[in-house]
Amino acid sequence: MDMTSPKVMGVLNVTPDSFYDGGKFVEEGSILKQAERMLTEGADFLDVGGYSSRPHAIDITDKEELGRVIPVVKVLLKEFPSAIVSIDTFRSAIAKEAVDCGASIVNDISAGELDKAMVETVAALQVPYIAMHMQGTPQTMAQFTNYENLTKEITDYFHRKIFQLQSAGIKDIILDPGFGFAKTIDQNFELLNKLEHLRIFEKPLLVGLSRKSMIWRTLKTTPESALNGTTVLNTLALLKGASILRVHDVKEAKEIIQLMNNL
């Protein structure tokens, strides 16, 4: 895929408890309708997730996550065979099963920290790997927001992580700084303000700001009313070097990119 122009990843959460779209897409009909909508609007990837990673989310078993995502991956690629599907999981067994069923990318919120078999699994699968910065787990990450120098510590983390991944044989690495994961609202804005520093790695940067609490809490509104704020911050992210926007609203993200390209 040519990454000279930014791309859009459409979020397809097949969970009952995700912070914005939990419970909306659990039946096959609603899943396919949403996927078709996002693809029609120009999504370059569909990111399927069956484990809610919002703060304090309920931990579910591997079996339950597998039961949520694998049928979805299969039906998506049956109905939309040219779609590029990403599997959003930190569990190596689920990543392998999804790729075996046709998923093309592994998107891991823990960058291999929560499942030590993930790195070698992705290396063996030879698919692109999205490595995100997070501390702790979704259940505990709110306790791990103490940084002496946020940008430096995330940069150091990715230095170590890229070395580990490349040494294992993973060729295509995408970096996600992890907005909202083990970071306060102020830290999220600091991270966005200094996002261009992560371009030092010369890797695609994925930014997931869509309808997150740094927007709606700052504006004293709700996730449902945070589309305008999402558009503003996604625009800033592109100006600072983002390569992929991970969003719930594909049409609006594609419009940002079209306008930015005309600059």
Q: Is the dihedral of CA 14, 184, 113, 243 positive or negative?
A: positive
Chain centre distance of CA 102: 18
Decide if 129 is inside a domain: yes
- Total domains present in the chain: 1
| pLDDT at residue 19 in the model | 47
Decide if 241 is inside a domain: no
Decide if 15 is inside a domain: yes
Decide if 248 is inside a domain: no
CB 185 within 8 A of CB 218: yes
| pLDDT at residue 30 in the model | 86
Q: Report the distance separating Cα 115 and Cα 165, nearest Å.
A: 14
What is the strand order of the sheet 7-13 is part of? 173-176, 129-132, 105-108, 85-88, 45-49, 7-13, 244-247, 206-207
Decide if 250 is inside a domain: no
Decide if 82 is inside a domain: yes
Decide if 44 is inside a domain: yes
Active site (catalytic) residues = 212, 246
Decide if 227 is inside a domain: no
| pLDDT at residue 24 in the model | 57
Q: Which domain holds residue 146?
A: 7-190
**Per-residue pLDDT tens digits of the chain, which is 263 residues long:** 889 899 999 999 988 754 445 455 567 888 999 999 999 999 999 999 999 887 777 889 999 999 999 999 999 999 999 999 999 999 999 999 999 999 999 999 999 999 999 999 999 999 999 999 999 998 899 999 999 999 999 999 999 999 999 999 999 999 999 999 999 999 999 999 999 999 999 999 999 999 999 999 999 999 999 999 999 999 999 999 999 999 999 999 999 999 999 98
CATH of the domain at 166: 3.20.20.20
